Amino acid sequence: AVVAVVRWRSPLEWNGEGTTKHFSEIFLGRCFVYTQIIRPELRNKDCTQIMAAFKGAFISKNPCSITKEDYQPLIQLDTKAVPCNKTLFWSKSKDLAHQYTWVHGNIFTLEDTLLGYIADDLTWCGDPSTSEVNEQSCPHWKKDNCPNNAASVFWKVVSQKFAEAACGVVQVMLNGSLSEPFYRNSTFGSVELLNLNPRKVHTLQAWVMHDIGGATSNSCSGSSLNELKLIAMSRNITFVCQDNY
């Protein structure tokens, strides 16, 4: 007799942390908190449909070959844009930026929008051999040489959309304690800055933050901020910089 040996293929092992435990419950919980409580004008959004579109981008796929197109069905479900003059970008200053928008109440980072709010601090990936998320491990972009992993591509896609939608004056909070507060390869430098629409955005205002009680600095006159200024100016966007805001 011929015996077919069907081997169960277990998910590949990667060097990064696996999908956040209780991913689906956290996803739905955050989606309902956002659409029912934080922005009740979104109360008719279908969180189950949003999660299905999100998972559809990476479930059952090679987690290192995710494309921007994979996230298009999800992006199309999120329609609400931030009002003009209310967009805040940040780079290497996430916690402070979020504390600021939380206290201020009327200025928005990407994590104050639906998709950013849901995905913030979560990890996720799939595997070609199953239709489940991989809770064991996910690719580490560097250690696994995997730039096109599910999370990195997601942040690229949503950051691009967030920047394209911005209008009026836009703000960016930078970390003045770093030698390069503006870093060209960051998401802000490589995606958001280049996707601002100069027909809609007239001014980019940088706030360079420093540790309270620490030394003040003059980063605005340094070479890193000058590089940002030149890129903004070449794109016909007025650049304003303020140290120690």
Tokens matching residue 220: 């605005």
| 98-117: contacts with ligand N1C (CB under 6 A) | 109-111, 116
Q: Does 92 bind ligand N1C (CB under 6 A)?
A: yes
* CA neighbor of 47 nearest in space, from 65, 61, 35, 59: 35
Tell me the number of residues near ligand N1C by CB under 6 A: 18
Q: Which residues are known to be catalytic?
A: 84, 167
- The 3-state DSSP class for residue 194 equals helix
CB of 89 to ligand N1C, least distance (A): 3
Tell me which stretch binds ligand N1C (CB under 6 A): 17-25, 74-82, 182-190, 202-210: 182-190
The burial class, CB within 10 Å (0-12 / 13-18 / 19+), for 121 is: exposed
Q: Determine if 177 is a binding residue for ligand N1C (CB under 6 A).
A: no
**Which stretch in 40-48, 75-83, 151-159, 221-229 sits in contact with ligand N1C by CB under 6 A?**
151-159
Name residue 211's amino acid.
D
CB of 119 to ligand N1C, least distance (A): 7
CA distances from 237 to 8, 83, 165 (A): 56, 18, 15
Cα–Cα distance measured from residue 27 to residue 32, given in angstroms and rounded to the nearest whole number: 9
Cβ closer to ligand N1C: 93 or 134? Answer: 93
Buried b (16+ CB within 10 A) or exposed e, 145-156: ebebbbbebbbb
DSSP labels, 20-49: PTTHHHHHHHHHHIIIIII-GGGTT--HHH
Shortest distance (Å) from residue 183 CB to ligand N1C: 7
Whichever of 107 and 130 has its CB closer to ligand N1C, that residue is: 107
For residues 126 and 14, the answer to whether their CB atoms sit within 8 Å is no
Q: How far is the CB of 97 from ligand N1C (least distance, A)?
A: 8
Spatial CA neighbour of 240 closest among 209, 205, 198: 205
27 binds ligand N1C (CB under 6 A): no
What Rg, from alpha-carbon coordinates, does the chain have? 20
Residue from 14, 90, 108, 207 touching ligand N1C (CB under 6 A): that is 90
Binding-site member from 84, 155, 169, 244 for ligand N1C (CB under 6 A):
155
Residue 120 lies near ligand N1C (rule: CB under 6 A) = yes
227 sits near ligand N1C (criterion: CB under 6 A): no
Is residue 20 a contact point for ligand N1C (CB under 6 A)?
no
State the minimum distance, in angstroms, from the CB of residue 90 to ligand N1C: 5
By residue count, the chain amounts to 245
- By CB under 6 A, name the binding residues for ligand N1C: 89-92, 94, 109-111, 116, 120, 151, 155, 159, 162, 186-188, 192
